Amino acid sequence: MTAGRAEQEEPKMTFHPLDPLSGPEFTRAAAVLGRAHGVGEGWRFASIELVEPPRAAIAAFENDGVLPERRARAVVLERASNTTWVAVVSLDTDRVVEWGEVPGVQANFTVDEWEEADTALRAHPEVVAALAKRGITDLEHVFIDTWTYGDAVIPDKYRGLRLGWADVWVRAGAGANPYAGPVSGLHFVIDVNTMNLLEVEDTFTVDPPAVMGEYVPHLVPERIRKASTRPPLKPLDIVQPEGPSFSLDGNLVQWQNWSLRVGFNYREGMTLHQVTYTDAGRVRPIANRLSFAEMVVPYRDPSVDHFRRTAFDIGEWGLGFMTTSLELGCDCLGEIRYLDAVLHNSAGEPYTIPNAFCIHEEDNAVLWKHVDHDGGAEVRRMRRLVVSFHVTVANYEYLVYWRFYQDGNIECEVRATGIMVVTHLAAGQPHPNGTLVDERTYAPFHQHFIVARLDLDIDGPSNTVYRSETRIEPIDAGNPLGLALTQQNTPIETEGFDDFDWNTQRAWKVVNEKTPNGLGTPVSYKLVPGGAIPSFFHASAPALQRAQVIGHTVWVTPNDSGERWPCGEFVNQSGVDHGLPEWIQAGRTVRDTDVVLWYTFGIHHITRPEEWPVMPADIVSFWLKPVGFFDRNPSLDVEPSPAHCAPGMEHAGHDHADHDHAGHDHHDGAVADHQHENGHTAPDATSTEPRRTA
C-alpha cells in the first residue's frame, strides 16, 4: 500500500506559546521542584502540564512578538504522608511561583503505580496462595489490573489511604487474550502509596468454562478459521502524488480555509486551539479551544465483581498518559503527517510518544450535486481534513477524530473498540445485568459518557447560547392541514444545564448577536447532538453524585480558565462533584459573553455476542454546523475533480476500469477513507513534515 513519498523537507518548528511542553521543560520543572521543595525520592509527579497563557498574552505574541512567560503546573504526591500538592513553576526564571497543599484529595493515578501494583501483587505470598487455591500456579500468565475507588465503596477501615482494587485475569497461553480469563470472585485491595496488600477478597469460585476468547489469528482455533467464507480483498491504494493539500508548521495546521493548532496534555490528550475559517479573505474565529474534559464509564452490574467499576478515564488516569502511537496503513491510511507527543513518568522524567497524532485528508463521497432536467449536471467531491489520536484505557480503545469540511462543518467522532469485561457464571446462573457472549460468560451492561468542552468563539468571544427547537403549530384557520412548523430560539441568559428533547429536536446555537451576516441575521454555529443518552441513574446514586455532568446533555458557563474539569479536578476517590454543579450556583450571566458549552454524549452499551472476543468499533459523533455564519454555501468555489467530473467530460466515454476506480467509496477499518487518484484538486500548500511510505 502506498501511503506517501520517501523524500522530505526539513520540518519547520516555529514556536508558539500554545505549544505543549517539551522534554527539557518537563525536566526543568521537576528539577525546580526538587531544589525548592525536595520533590524527589518518596514523591510522585501525578501530572505536569503547560499553563496556557491568557488570550491577551497570546495576542501580544502574535501581533508584536512579545513572548509570554512559560509556566508549568504540577500535581505532586508525597507518598509517606499521602498528601497532594499543587505547584506552578516559571520555566523562564526557574522558580516556584505557587505552592500549596490540597487537603482531603487524591491525585490521579499514574501508569507507574498501575505497573508497580501488578508487580507487587503477583509477588505477594497471599496472592500466590489465593491463586494456587484456584489451581493457578503459572504466574507468568497472570494479569492484575488495578482500578481506582469512589468514595461510596471505600471500606471505612481504609479511609485516608490511597487505594486501589484489582481484578485478576489469566491468559490461556503466551500472547493470549487475558480478558478472556477472568478469575471471578477474587479481588485484591492495595495501598498504592506503600504497595502493601491490605486484603484478599475471595468471595466465590466458578469452574472456568471453555471459552473462545482469542482474536489474534494464530490463536483462533482452526475450526473457526476454516469456517470463514470471506473472499479476499484486492489492494486499495490511496495516492496523492503531489502530496497533501494541507501544511504543517510546528503544531499549526492549515488546509483549504481552515487553520488550527494542535495541543496536548496528560489529561485531555489532544486539544485543538484557535480554530478559524478564512472567508473571502477575512480570518473568522470559530473556536478558541476544543477538548474532552471527562469520560465517565459506569458499569451497571451490582455484582461483587463489578459494583466498584466506575471509571473516570480522564480525571483518574488521563487520556494523554493513555495515548498510543499510530501506525501507517493500520490506524491511518493515505498521505499522512504525524506529530509526536511528549509526556513524563511519575519521577518527572520525559518520554516521547511517536506518531501520537495523525493528520490527513480523506475523500468523503459527494459534497454537492444537482442534475438539471435538460441533462446538465454539476457535482463536487467532498474532501475533509482529519486530525486524530487513539488511546488505550485497560481493556478499551477510544479513537478520536476531529474532521473539518469544506462547507464549514466540524464533526467530532469517537470510536470505541477493544475488549469487553466479562465474568464467568455457574451453570444455570442468571445474568440480568449483562449479555451472554460465550459459554457461561457474560459481559455486563455499562455506559460511556464523554464530556466535550467546547470553548467556541463565533466571530469573537462575545457569544450567547440559544436553545433551538421545532414547534408543531396547532391546526387552525391559518394552518388547516396541520403542516406548519416553526422554529423557536430561546437565549440562555444564566449559567446552568439543559437536556435533549426528541419531541422538539432540541439543539443549541452559539450566536454572536453583534455580528450580522449579509442577510442581516446574527451569525452562529449549531451543536447538532448525537449520542445524547440519559444517565439512567436514580438521583441519589453515588456514581451520579460524583459525576452530575452526565445527568444533563448540555451545560453553559462563562469561560473561566480555572473551570476545566466538569466533575472537579480530583475525582480519584471522590464522593461529590466539585465541578459544574458547584460552579453554576453563582448564577452568572451567559448572555453576550465568553461562554463554554459542555456537551455530554456517549454510548449506552447493551453488550452483544457479536462484540466478543474483540469489539468492532461502536461509533458516536456530534457536529458543529454553521447557521447563518456564511451568507450562502461556502463550498461553491470547490473545484470539480480534474477527471470525469470536469465540464465537457462525457461519462459514457469511460471504460469499465475508470468507472470502477472513480466511482466507489472505500473504507479502512479505523476511519472512512475515500481517496481517488483522479480526485485531486491542486494542492494549496506543501507540508514540511516527513512523508512516510509503507
Q: What is the pLDDT of residue 329?
A: 86
Q: What is the pLDDT of residue 3?
A: 36
Q: Would you state the cell numbers that stand for residue 505, as one nine-digit string?
A: 429536536
CB-CB neighbours of 513 under 10 Å: 16
Q: Which of 145, 167, 301, 313 is catalytic?
A: 313
Angstrom distances, CA of residue 512 to CA of 129, 132, 490, 508, 541:
66, 66, 14, 13, 39
- 98 contacts 71 by C-beta, under 8 angstroms: no
* Phi, psi dihedrals of residue 658, rounded to the nearest 5°: -65, -40
- 681 contacts 674 by C-beta, under 8 angstroms: no
Please report the DSSP string for 86-155 in residue order.
EEEEETTTTEEEEEEE-TT-BPPP-HHHHHHHHHHHHT-HHHHHHHHHTT---GGGEEEEEE---GGGS-
Q: Please state, in angstroms and rounded to a whole number, the distance separating the CA atoms of residues 310 and 298.
A: 4
Long-range contacts of residues 638-641, Cβ cutoff 8 Å, at least 24 apart: 638/367, 638/380, 638/406, 638/681, 639/380, 639/681, 639/682, 640/378, 640/379, 640/380, 641/380, 641/381, 641/676, 641/678, 641/679, 641/680, 641/681
Torsion angle of the four alpha carbons 673, 329, 334, 611, in this order, in degrees rounded to the nearest 10 = 20
Q: Which of 396, 398, 405, 442 is catalytic?
A: 396
User: Binning pLDDT at 50, 70 and 90, where does residue 645 land?
Assistant: low
Residue 434, beta-bridge partner list: 444
Is a pLDDT exceeding 70 seen at residue 683? no
Share of the chain above pLDDT 90, in %: 88
Is a pLDDT exceeding 60 seen at residue 691? no
Q: Please state, in angstroms and rounded to a whole number, the distance separating the CA atoms of residues 605 and 617.
A: 12
The answer to whether residue 637 is catalytic is no
CB-CB neighbours of 282 under 10 Å: 9
Q: Kindly report, residue by residue over 416-473, the tens digit of the pLDDT.
A: 999 999 999 999 999 999 999 999 999 999 999 999 999 999 999 999 999 999 999 9
* Phi, psi dihedrals of residue 381, rounded to the nearest 5°: -75, 145
Q: What is the pLDDT of residue 601?
A: 98
Q: What is the pLDDT of residue 642?
A: 81
Q: Kindly report, residue by residue over 41-94, the tens digit of the pLDDT.
A: 999 999 999 999 999 999 999 999 999 999 999 999 999 999 999 999 999 999
Q: Which residue is listed with cell 469452574?
A: 207
Alpha helices in 139-274 (DSSP H): 222-226
DSSP 219: G
Angstrom distances, CA of residue 655 to CA of 141, 239, 378:
57, 21, 21
One-letter amino acid at 236 equals L
Q: What is the pLDDT of residue 375?
A: 81
- Element housing 489 (H / E): strand 485-491
CB-CB neighbours of 538 under 10 Å: 8
- 253 contacts 387 by C-beta, under 8 angstroms: yes
Q: Is 261 helix (H, G, I), strand (E, B) or coil?
A: strand
Q: What is the pLDDT of residue 570?
A: 98
Is a pLDDT exceeding 50 seen at residue 11? no
Q: What is the pLDDT of residue 317?
A: 98
Alpha helices in 364-436 (DSSP H): none
Is a pLDDT exceeding 60 seen at residue 650? no
User: Binning pLDDT at 50, 70 and 90, where does residue 385 land?
Assistant: very high
Q: What is the pLDDT of residue 301?
A: 98
Averaged confidence pLDDT in the chain? 92
CB-CB neighbours of 101 under 10 Å: 12
- 78 contacts 85 by C-beta, under 8 angstroms: yes
Dihedral sign, Cα of residue 625, residue 271, residue 595, residue 564: positive
For the ranges 4-18, 169-183, 205-219, 430-444, which has the lowest average pLDDT?
Answer: 4-18
Q: Kindly report, residue by residue over 122-141, the tens digit of the pLDDT.
A: 999 999 999 999 999 999 99
Q: Kindly report, residue by residue over 503-519, the tens digit of the pLDDT.
A: 999 999 999 999 999 99
Q: Kindly report, residue by residue over 341-379, the tens digit of the pLDDT.
A: 999 999 999 999 999 999 999 999 999 999 998 888 999
- 145 contacts 167 by C-beta, under 8 angstroms: yes
Is the peptide bond preceding residue 683 cis, with omega within 30 degrees of 0?
no
Please report the DSSP string for 236-257 in residue order.
-----TT--SEEEETTEEEETT
Q: Kindly report, residue by residue over 658-677, the tens digit of the pLDDT.
A: 333 333 333 333 333 333 33
The answer to whether residue 145 is catalytic is no
> How would you classify the pairing of strands 282-298 and 310-312?
antiparallel
Q: Which of 531, 284, 547, 278 is nearest to 412 (CA)?
A: 531
Mean pLDDT within 203-226? 95
